[in-house]
Structure 1
Amino acid sequence: GIIYTGSHGFDIVGPRGLRKQVAPEFLPILEDTEKELKQKLRDIAGAQLERKRFSIAAHFREVPDERTPQVEQAVSEVAARHRKLRKTAGKKVYELQPDVDWNKGKALLWLLEAMGLDPEEMFPIYIGDDLTDEDAFRAVERCGVGIVVNEKPRATAARYFLKDPVEVELFLREILARLRDNSHS
């Protein structure tokens, strides 16, 4: 079955009733925060607000360079008014999410345990392209491997590097082909 993990691991749903939601009590706060942030960003050309279930992302990929400090200031001001949320930075994005001890790495470890997977009998591979994936790269290094996707190598906890989604697809196809070959041996 397919397992969905979204909102930086705050929302996990899978087969046979597998479900975890971290901090659902923050949903009303996030709703209010989204309205405030939408108001603050409305006059900044190119700024885009994305509401995820447990976070709010302010994307500034399309914002002219001279206006990007205004995006950060708007997000910081809203975050200061909502102290139960924390601001994180990613690739051309700032996010506000519940300020609790949870991240993609903790979600990954919870998921492995909830599925009853024995670390001695598996080898998880975590592939990510954002700074927010670093927690998962660190979490997986004991029993598996982290792979960062970025055009150029960068400082990371991931052990390996792929440069773009095309390389990710080739890598996954190669793993699948080898698994199929081994199952026929």
Structure 2
Amino acid sequence: SDDMRNVLKRIAKRYPLAIISGRSLDDVRDMVNVDGIYYAGNHGFEITNDVKLVNPDAEKIKPVINEICRKMQKRLIHIKGSIVENKGLTASVHYRMVSNDDFIELEKIFDEVAASYVKDRKIRITKGKKVFEIRPNIEWDKGKAVEFVIDAIGKKGTPVYIGDDRTDEDAFTILKDKGITVLVSEKIKETNAEYYLRNVDEVKSFLEGLL
């Protein structure tokens, strides 16, 4: 929202700020639209401030990601509500709008398509909120992206990381005893984060408290 964007702009004037997302770099940058901050897209495989950095090993897997997406789209075309998102270096299969009955078939098809690539250690699969994530089988995640950004800005102050997805757990783990970690969730759940906020409104209030 515009209100949240304005808060982020004010935060960025006082503190180093990074947005780390599973979305493609271009997508997250267009969505947030705040200048002068770090953006990490595709779970950290792409990072930019003034210069865009792409993990070279992940770049080599792009043809494999494209191939998997084509197969997924062909096999899932009849399942209403399914979305195959090709993000270049990674991909996602969303099933938020898929019925419970159709999900059983979707999961079966997903496993069938992904199986050989997982077996060949070309990709790894993670699960988010109503989504299957397809990533290069490389030791890199949001936690590694956090470490990269902290090193880039010079390890100043205490890092604060706020996230709402399973893939944020890697960052929570990296920052254990080193920073402030906050899970955004309406429900109490098992997490490596130290604190909870219930929703975006509470996140906004928390950030305003830092100003």
Deviation string, structure 1 residues 34-61 (Cα, Å, up to 9, x no partner): 1011111111111111222321111111
Change (3 A) 1:18 1:7: closer
Correspondence for 1:39: 74
1:124 to 159, 163, 167: 159
The alpha-carbon deviation at position 79 of structure 1 amounts to 1.3
Q: Equivalents in 1 of 2:91, 2:105: separation in Å? A: 17
The alpha-carbon deviation at position 165 of structure 1 amounts to 1.0
1:127-142 aligned at under 5 Å gives the runs 127-142=162-177
Correspondence for 2:59: 24
Q: Equivalents in 2 of 1:75, 1:87: separation in Å? A: 10
Deviation string, structure 1 residues 41-94 (Cα, Å, up to 9, x no partner): 111111111222321111111101111122222221121122301111111100
Q: Equivalents in 2 of 1:142, 1:20: separation in Å? A: 29
Contact 1:72 1:94 in 2 (8 A): no
The answer as to 2:134 corresponding to 1:96 is yes
Q: How many residues get paired?
A: 172
The amino acid across from 2:136 in the alignment is P
The alpha-carbon deviation at position 98 of structure 1 amounts to 0.3
Correspondence for 2:8: none
The amino acid across from 1:19 in the alignment is L
- The answer for unaligned runs of 5 or more in structure 1 is 177-185
Q: Equivalents in 2 of 1:20, 1:28: separation in Å? A: 15
- The answer for unaligned runs of 5 or more in structure 2 is 1-35
The alpha-carbon deviation at position 19 of structure 1 amounts to 2.3
The amino acid across from 1:100 in the alignment is I
Correspondence for 1:86: 124
**SS of aligned partner of 2:191:** coil
The alpha-carbon deviation at position 11 of structure 1 amounts to 0.8
Change (3 A) 1:80 1:21: same
The amino acid across from 1:14 in the alignment is N
**SS of aligned partner of 1:166:** helix
The alpha-carbon deviation at position 114 of structure 1 amounts to 2.6
The alpha-carbon deviation at position 173 of structure 1 amounts to 1.2
The answer as to 2:38 corresponding to 1:3 is yes
Correspondence for 1:107: 145
**SS of aligned partner of 2:61:** helix
The amino acid across from 1:99 in the alignment is N
Task: Give the TM-score normalised by the residue count of structure 1.
Answer: 0.88
Larger RCO of the pair (alpha carbons < 8 Å, separation 6+): 2
Correspondence for 2:182: 147
2:92 to 57, 64, 85: 57
Contact 2:46 2:52 in 1 (8 A): no
**SS of aligned partner of 1:82:** helix
Q: Which has the larger radius of gyration?
A: 1
